[in-house]
Amino acid sequence: MRRFFLEVYGCQMNRHEAGIVRRILSSAGYSETNDENEAEVLLMLTCSVRDHAEQRALGRLGDFRGLKERSPGRVVAVLGCVSQNLKSELSSDHGADLVIGPDGYRRLPEMLTSVLLSQPKTQDPKPKVGSPVFSLDQSAECYDGIMPVPESPACGSVTVMRGCDNYCSYCIVPYVRGRERSKPAEQVTMEARALLEQGVKEVTLLGQNVLAYRSNGTDFAGLLERVAALPGIARVRFLTSHPKDVTERFLKMIADTPNVCPALHLPLQSGSDRILGLMNRRYTRTEYLERVELARKLIPGLGLTTDIIVGFPGETDEDYAATLELVRTIGYHYAYMFRYSVRPGTASAQLGPAVPVAVAQERLERLIALQNDITRAHHRSFVGRRVELMVEAPAPRGGTMARTSDGTVVIVPGPVPVGTIRDFMVTSISGWTPVAGPAN
Ligand code: SAM
Ligand code: SF4
């Protein structure tokens, strides 16, 4: 049996797709190893949203190539968004044997066989390299019929749509992941049901903008309702919602369905109308704020999180101040904050003037410090409260990691079986994470 080693970079979508790759390879007779030295097939599932992620993957590719040079006959394969972005450069400049974009994984076993057969088996002082193989056609692929290996015994995810048609000016996703397409509602419910049969308690519905979901007259609110009605499903989450598409009907549906978690990831990106316009986000700061207020009114205890970019081309001190001000006003529970990274080929790559790196870095650090204070205060507000937690996994530094329905991570000291859902009492904060014990 051939062994593969898989390294995964990037977002939750990539972690989900890693499950699809695992399923495809295990069905073809491969087994997974966590030791790259043991593997005949070295795979990396990459992210190209920011240059830093791309560079990290290229650095690791150098390690994989080193392993291959020391012991020939192995195959080095690059999957995911960097494949689609850099294409043949990955084989000509970085030594990849196989380059497969996000829509090509069904062909992985067949392509691996052809590359494995063409690999020189001996340590030749001037090793001949077999011809690299590519699969970069973009299709309507949604991997229907392939059940991904779940990421954890208690939590699973279903991709409900792939690609993106929004073309935010900074973003590479529409170019590397292709056009927006939705998975039929029957397929989504079938995959969710299969996860529940395997013991999963919480299902997350995934897409770059789930609110654009459309399939045979079903919109995302309708889909969510169908998934939430499946027997045995304790919690339903979804990711990501574009603020321009948030409707009252959708918010009411979350509020009225007890097992849909009261949590919304609503990327703001910037608090300045001028920058939002340049980003092609299609909402204003006022519209964004109105939707947040409506969501908070309709959904008690809403957990609100966001993404923010600083240092977008032309961002002035005033634009940045508008972002800080909105972050302070809204008080997100958590935020993913990034320094703008220019992505060649996107619309904003043509924009200027660039914000100097040192200025953008300083803005990022100040924003992170502000958000950290807000997140800490949110976590402190849990102390002394009784909360329902779902236990997700053993915590990396001991104890057990659990989550509230609003998405806050809480540590429970000592072992608690994964998948347990019950009330706990939050007693203290450790670092900045709430710690909970038994509720009497
Ligand atoms: N579709 C989702 C959305 O609209 O929010 C997620 C897309 S992206 C994978 C996740 C986040 O990365 C974005 O929300 C944005 O904040 C950030 N991002 C995307 N392109 C970026 C860039 N060129 N530079 C810095 N951050 C970027
Ligand atoms: Fe990128 Fe915008 Fe699409 Fe999100 S909605 S993936 S940020 S283009």
DSSP string, 123-189: --SS---PPPEEE--------TT--PPPSSSSEEEEE-EE------TT--HHHHH-S-EE--HHHHH
- Is 13 exposed, middle or buried (CB count within 10 Å of its CB: 0-12, 13-18, 19+)? buried
Each residue of 345-396: pLDDT tens digit? 999 999 989 999 999 999 999 999 999 999 999 999 999 999 999 999 999 8
pLDDT in tens, 94-107: 999 999 999 999 99
Q: Per-residue pLDDT for 333 more than 80?
A: yes
Pocket test for ligand 1, best of 307, 310, 323, 364 (most atoms within 8 A of CB): 307
Question: Strands 303-310 and 334-339, how do they pair?
Answer: parallel
Closest-CA residue to 292 (of 330, 336, 334, 256)? 330
Q: Which of 167, 171, 177, 283 to mutate to test the pocket of ligand 2 (most atoms within 8 A of CB)?
A: 171
Residue type, 34: N
What's the rounded mean pLDDT across residues 155-162?
96
Taking the C-alpha atoms of residue 95 and residue 88, their distance in angstroms, rounded to an integer, is 10
Is residue 124's pLDDT more than 70? no
Q: What is the pLDDT of residue 71?
A: 86
Instruction: Answer yes or no: is pLDDT of 129 > 60.
Output: no
- Lowest average pLDDT, out of 84-98, 133-147, 227-241, goes to 133-147
Q: Ligand 2: which residue has its CA nearest to atom 2?
A: 168
Give the closest residue (by CA) to ligand 2 atom 1. Answer: 171
CA of 170 to the centre of ligand 2 (A): 9
pLDDT at 119: 74
pLDDT score for 25:
98
CA 411 to chain centre: 22
In the prediction, which pLDDT does 332 show?
98
- Compute, in angstroms, the gap from residue 336 CA to the centroid of ligand 1: 9
Q: Whose CA is nearest to atom 5 of ligand 2?
A: 166
CA distance 309 to 91: 32
The Cα-based distances of 211 to 161, 225, 300, 336, 388 in angstroms read: 10, 13, 21, 20, 28
User: In 340-386, where does DSSP find H-type helix?
Assistant: 357-380
* 62 in Cβ contact with 97 (< 8 Å): no
Task: Tell me the Ramachandran region of residue 355: left when phi exceeds 0, alpha when psi lies from -120 to 50, beta otherwise.
Answer: beta
Task: Quote the pLDDT of residue 349.
Answer: 97
pTM: 0.95
- Looking at all shown ligands, the one closest to residue 9's CA atom is 1
Measured CA to CA, the distance from residue 255 to residue 252 in angstroms comes to 5
Q: Is the peptide bond before 240 cis (omega within 30 degrees of 0)?
A: yes
Helix (H, G, I), strand (E, B) or coil at 332: coil
Handedness of CA 87, 88, 94, 97 (dihedral sign): positive
Q: Output the pLDDT for position 123.
A: 58
Give the whole-angstrom CA distance, residue 421 versus residue 389. Answer: 6
- Convert the pLDDT of each residue in 221-270 to its tens digit: 999 999 999 999 999 999 999 999 999 999 999 999 999 999 999 999 99
Which one of 173, 211, 278, 338 would you pick to mutate in the ligand 2 pocket, going by the greatest count of ligand atoms within 8 A of its CB?
Answer: 173
Q: Which long-range contacts (CB under 8 A, 24 or more apart) does 396-400 make?
A: none
Report which ligand 1 atom has the smallest distance to the Cα of 269.
16
Q: Which amino acid is at 151?
A: E
Q: What is the pLDDT of residues 286-332, one digit of tens each?
A: 999 999 999 999 999 999 999 999 999 999 999 999 999 999 999 99
Q: φ, ψ for residue 304 (rounded to 5)?
A: -115, 125
57 within 8 A of 44, measured Cβ to Cβ: yes
What is the rounded distance in angstroms from the CA atom of residue 195 to the CA atom of residue 395?
23
Average predicted confidence (pLDDT) for the chain: 94
DSSP β-bridge partners for residue 238: 205
CA nearest neighbour of 103 among 179, 217, 38, 52: 179
For residues 432 and 375, the answer to whether their CB atoms sit within 8 Å is: yes
Q: What is the pLDDT of residue 130?
A: 61
Of 11, 171, 346, the residue with max ligand 1 atoms within 8 A of its CB, to mutate for a pocket test, comes to 171
- Of 104, 103, 128, which Cα lies nearest the Cα of 118? 128
Q: Ligand nearest 50 Cα, by number?
A: 1
As beta bridge partners, residue 428 has 435
Which of 161, 166, 266, 280 for mutating ligand 2's site (highest number of atoms within 8 Å of CB)?
166
Rounded CA separation 146/289 (Å)? 40
Cβ count within 10 A of residue 23: 16
Place of tokens 């109105």: 290
- Nearest C-alpha neighbor of 210 from the set 184, 178, 246: 246
User: Which atom of ligand 1 is nearest the CA belonging to 336?
Assistant: 16
Q: Cβ < 6 Å from ligand 2: which residues? A: 164, 166-168, 171, 173-174, 208-209, 242
User: Which of the 8 DSSP states describes residue 209?
Assistant: T
Query: Letter for the amino acid at 349?
Result: A
Q: Are 264 and 224 in contact (CB under 8 A)?
A: no
Q: State percent of the chain over pLDDT 70.
A: 98
- Say how many Å lie between the CA of residue 49 and the centre of ligand 1: 7
Nearest CA to ligand 1 atom 20: 171
Q: What DSSP letter does each residue of 74-94 carry, written as one string?
A: -EEEEEEHHHHHHTTHHHHTT
The predicted-structure confidence for 4-46, as pLDDT tens digits, reads as follows 999 999 999 999 999 999 999 999 999 999 999 999 999 999 9
Around Cβ 87, how many Cβ atoms within 10 Å? 14
- The residue whose CA is least distant from atom 8 of ligand 1 is 49
Find, among 302, 369, 314, the residue nearest to 337 by Cα: 369
Ligand 1, residues at Cβ distance < 6 Å:
11, 49-50, 170-171, 173, 208-209, 240, 242, 267, 269, 307, 309, 338, 340-341, 343
State residue 122's pLDDT score: 62
Nearest atom in ligand 1 to the alpha carbon of residue 208 is 1
User: How far is the C-alpha of 312 from the C-alpha of 353, rounded, in Å?
Assistant: 9
* Low-confidence winner among 55-69, 129-143, 152-166, 309-323 (lowest mean pLDDT): 129-143
The answer to whether the CB of 167 falls within 8 A of the CB of 349 is: no
Rounded mean pLDDT, 62-71 = 92
131-136 average pLDDT score: 81
Question: For residue 207, which ligand has an atom nearest its CA?
Answer: 1
Confidence label for 125 from pLDDT (cuts 50, 70 and 90): very low
